[in-house]
Amino acid sequence: MDFSEFSAFLLRRCSVREYEPEPLTDEDIHTIIASAGSAPSAGNLEAWDVVVVTDEDARLALSDAAFGQSHVAGAPALFVVCANYVRSMSQYGERGILYAVEDATIACTYMMLAAHARGLSSCWTGAFEDDDVRDVLGLPPHSRPLAILAVGKSHAPVQRTERMDIENHIHYNEW
Ligand SMILES: Cc1cc2nc3c(=O)[nH]c(=O)nc-3n(C[C@H](O)[C@H](O)[C@H](O)COP(=O)(O)O)c2cc1C
């Protein structure tokens, strides 16, 4: 892939919140997660976990945990990506909390882009009650849910959202 293809690939991705009911294949699920396995991580500790949720009752419960967001119930598969504090803190102490969050965020980004590369649509979902997600999924205390990545097939057109001018992000040599 050359850079213009890479750029076009990124620009074709957008958050989609309406999905066909058709389930993901096992290969879809496996390859999406396997892609995250190649993500960088602090100390190569891979301080992240994912709970794949396809069960309808669990998806409804997670939608409730996400303040009723309907795309969470409507997506045929949810990838709940969690930071694994213990794995990172065992090596890095307090700094490991930040590293675990970073590891899980990168892993979720890879999953989102892998879904896109497979022609699937997704929506990164961060608005939810942590404790409710914990209860639904039975997460251990050292695991923090960071994102519910909703994934499914969709025929919705690509809808680009506005971005601020990139120069607003950049500081040269000093702030
Ligand atoms: C950390 C994070 C949290 C988000 N939480 C939600 C959410 O709870 N519900 C939702 O519909 N979209 C959520 N989004 C998606 C954003 O609204 C979306 O990425 C943004 O508007 C840019 O649009 P685009 O993804 O189509 O480029 C979230 C995205 C990120 C990165």
Written as six digits, the tokens of 121 are 């649509």
Which protein residue has the closest C-alpha to ligand 1 atom 9? Answer: 125
Longest CA pairwise span in the chain (Å):
52
Which protein residue has the closest C-alpha to ligand 1 atom 18? Answer: 15
Mean pLDDT to the nearest integer, 83-108? 98
The predicted pLDDT at position 103 comes to 98
Q: Distance between CA atoms of 76 and 33, rounded to whole angstroms?
A: 16
The predicted pLDDT at position 48 comes to 98
What is the assigned CATH class of domain 15-155? alpha beta
Reference 149, options 110, 120, 123; nearest CA is 123
Residue 66 alpha carbon, nearest atom of ligand 1:
8
Q: Is 125 helix (H, G, I), strand (E, B) or coil?
A: strand
Average pLDDT, the chain: 98
Cα distance from N-terminal residue to C-terminal residue, the chain: 34
pLDDT digits (tens, 9 = 90+) for 37-77: 999 999 999 999 999 999 999 999 999 999 999 999 999 99
